[in-house]
Every structure is written in structure tokens, then in C-alpha cells.
Homo-oligomer: A and B are copies of this chain.
Amino acid sequence: MNNDAIGVFDSGVGGLTAVKELNRLLPNEDIIFFGDTARIPYGSRSKETILKYARQDVNFLRHHKIKMIIAACGTVSSTIGSKPLVDDMPFTGVVLPAAQAACGATKNGRIGVIGTPATIRSGSFAKAIKNINPKAAVIGNACPLFVHLVENGYTQRDNKITKLAAEEYLTPIKNEGVDTLIMGCTHYPVIKDIIADFMGENVTLISSGEEAAKYAQVCLMENDMLTESTEKGHNTFYVSDSTELFEENAKHFLCHKVNGEVFSCNLEDLN
């Protein structure tokens, strides 16, 4: 048993996908979330910069009492490769859990992957899927605008710009006859309706943030590290830009207010 919090980080509000699922699966656990909102987006930056930011994010979480770290960011998870960001506590990114879920869901062995330019460039999801099912066909496409559309609230199901971007990004994947699509960036579930409308009802969508949360649940159970508490856990959110901007964006994202305290922290604390 271990009563420390679960640490979760992302470049922005996307990581809340994982927090929401953790709250559902493990309601008594405390969560410490860090969103690097002063430096979002990560997905259009170089490998070196993404790795530097990821290490700083981990260092920030380490200032709190945590028992596990979840990189709830498709870009970071894809860029680190097979080496975990920490070796003294359990760690997961979103790539392996989502790849496993996709391999379980597909019937025809044809899996689509959408993510940021850095994620798709890394080939991380394809590698992970091929390790599980060497016969699977993986069709990936980068969606550079999706993070910005989500962060700026272009999320209504009938939003013309987001629908047009979805059509552009998803057409090559749909044409390949996939039956499963990994949303390889934790921001994408907020425009799930638009993605689903275009892909059609026969395509299963996999939320990488949710799958990471499910993996974390099993991992903590396996290691006997769940909390003893029988009370509802607390969420605490830290962001590198202003709390107001985060709460505004998070409201779009969650369709309700964030449930927990939100603090702003200095980027200098990350060095």
C-alpha cells in the first residue's frame, strides 16, 4: 500500500483525459497534475527540446510526494523511445497501452494512428503495434492543427474549420480501410465526435490517455501500491502559465469545471 499521489504531466489540457479516467477507475487516489501551458505545443518542436521539457516536467513532479509518473502526452511518450523517464518508481507513457488496446480491438489488423508531427515522425505507435502483432498494418498521419483547434475551443461537433481539417487528415487513413484508430495525442478525444463522424461507426477509436490510466491502475495493483484511503482523493493541478487560462481551456475540455485546486508555478522551478 502507498498513499502518495499519482503524478501526471502533459504540455496542456490534453493530459486531463488521463486524469478523468484515473478519477473514474481509482476514485480514492490523489493526483498531482502538471500542464506545461507556458510552452505548449510540444508536438511541433525538435526531439532535443521535447526531451529537455519532459525531463523538467518530471523534475517538477518529483518535488511532490508521488508514487508513479504518467506521461499523458503522446509527443513525449513517442519521443523518449523505449527507455522510461524514471527508474525509481513505476512509469508509463501513452504509446504502449494504446497500442495494446488497438491490437485487442482490431478485427482486420488495419490500425490508423493520428498524432502530432513529432509523434508520427517517431514511428512510435507503429513500432509498438508491430511488436505485439507483426502482421498488423499501421497507417499514420500527422495532424499539426488539431492541438491548436482544441486549445482554442474549435471543438463543436459542427465546427467547419475542424471538420475540414479532420477530412484532410483522416481521408488517407480512412481510404486504407482501418477498423481501429488510435488518437495518439491526449488532446484529440475532445474532438472525438468530429473524428467519429468522419471515420464512421465501424471504426473503433482508442483514447491514448484513457488507456494509460487503465494501465496505471493494473500497474499499481500488481505492485501493491494502491492507496489505503477510503475517502475521495484530491486532484491538484499545476500549470506553467496562468491558472485562469488553464481553467478556461479545461472547461472546454471537460465540459465542466476542473475538480481540484489549480496553482501556477514558475518555469524556473523546472530547471
Interface residues of chain A, those whose CB is within 8 Å of chain B, are 37-39, 44-46, 48-49, 52, 144-145, 148-149, 151-152, 154, 160-161, 164-165, 168, 240-242, 244-245, 267-268, 271
Contacts of A149 in B (CB 8 A): 145
CA separation between A165 and B162, bound complex, in Å?
10
Contacts A160-B164, A161-B161, A268-B271 given: A49-B242 contact, CB under 8 Å?
Answer: yes
CA separation between A144 and B145, bound complex, in Å?
11
Contact in complex: B152, A46 (CB < 8 Å): no
Contacts A39-B39, A161-B168, A165-B161 given: A46-B242 contact, CB under 8 Å?
Answer: yes
Contact in complex: A46, B245 (CB < 8 Å): yes
Which B residue sits closest to A164, measured CB to CB?
B161
Residue among A39, A151, A268 having the largest count of chain B Cβ atoms under 10 Å? A39
Copies of this chain, tallied across the complex: 2
Contacts A39-B39, A145-B149 given: A242-B48 contact, CB under 8 Å?
Answer: yes
Contact in complex: A44, B152 (CB < 8 Å): yes
CA separation between A26 and B148, bound complex, in Å?
37
Contacts of A37 in B (CB 8 A): 45
Contacts A145-B145, A145-B152, A152-B145 given: A46-B244 contact, CB under 8 Å?
Answer: yes
| A159 smallest CB distance to B (angstroms) | 10
Contacts of A48 in B (CB 8 A): 242
Which B residue sits closest to A242, measured CB to CB?
B46
Interface pairs A-B: 3 shortest CB-CB: A46-B242, A148-B148, A144-B152
CA separation between A271 and B39, bound complex, in Å?
15
Contacts of A52 in B (CB 8 A): 267
A-B contact pairs, 28 of them (CB 8 A): A37-B45, A38-B39, A38-B45, A38-B49, A39-B39, A45-B241, A45-B245, A46-B241, A46-B242, A46-B244, A46-B245, A49-B240, A49-B241, A49-B242, A52-B267, A144-B148, A144-B152, A145-B145, A145-B148, A145-B154, A148-B148, A160-B164, A160-B168, A161-B161, A161-B164, A161-B165, A164-B164, A268-B271
CA separation between A160 and B165, bound complex, in Å?
9
